[in-house]
Amino acid sequence: MNPLVSAIERHVELSPKEREAVESLREAPLVRVPARQTTLSEGDNPGVVRLLSQGWAYRFKDLPDGRRQIVGLLLPGDFFDLGVRLVDEMDHSIAALTPIAYHAIPPETIDRLAREYPRIADAFARHEHVSTSIHREWLLNLGRRNAFERLAHLFLEIFMRLRASGSARERECDCPLTQNDLADATGVTSVHLNRTMQELRREGLVELKSKRLFIRDYDRLTQVAMFNPNYLQIGRETRHLAQ
């Protein structure tokens, strides 16, 4: 399926005519990027709307002394930024976590699609709302949750997002993040992250091995993380399937 169709149908059910219009975008160039390569740097002009088709990427900010904060994860079906036509330069950087492929869509094509099909415009707006909601939750993580709670919450968010897209099994999913990546995403040192990961494992909550995340006790993990998936806007049915 066209990844753009998948992304939009997370938010609205497309009519045959709307689906045909979205399917026409499959001719947008597909760009491949190796793992760990920066795709967009802070200060770059984004130029096109990028839709992630394959692989994982992440948003990040660097300090002059080399310290890095991961500020968001991009999973298949996510847009890098729908508002590229509104900005002249990136205020953060984006890098490939794994080998990725993305569709490079001209902004005017997205604008035309939104103008001609109001329900698709609503889906775009909903996508951006969810992205903003995720940023708010990450801010809460860094400001109020401790390291144990942050990591538990991040694992649940990843699992629920992949579950919503049909990419997760009952209690497991891909998780190619290294311990350094997890430390950069949760704002702790690698040593502290390692201790926290061991604690989660000892408590029988999660296990991370061979780039797979295994949730051993969903209910307890949800309680520990104080996790409420409403900010992901994934619907009650998906939440129920994950439990």
pLDDT in tens, the chain (243 residues): 566 777 778 778 889 999 888 888 778 899 999 999 999 999 999 999 999 999 999 999 999 999 999 999 999 989 998 888 788 899 999 999 999 999 999 999 999 999 999 999 998 899 899 999 999 999 999 999 999 999 999 999 999 999 988 888 889 999 999 999 999 999 999 999 999 999 999 999 999 999 999 999 999 999 999 999 999 988 654 545 455
**Measured between alpha carbons, how far is 45 from 54 in angstroms, rounded to an integer?**
23
What pLDDT is stored for residue 243 in this prediction? 54
**Measured between alpha carbons, how far is 22 from 170 in angstroms, rounded to an integer?**
30
Q: Using N-to-C axis directions, what is the helix angle for 190-202 and 147-164, rounded to 10°?
A: 70
- Sequence-separated (6 or more) residues with CB below 8 Å from residue 123: 8, 10, 11, 12
What pLDDT is stored for residue 1 in this prediction? 58
What pLDDT is stored for residue 237 in this prediction? 45
What pLDDT is stored for residue 203 in this prediction? 97
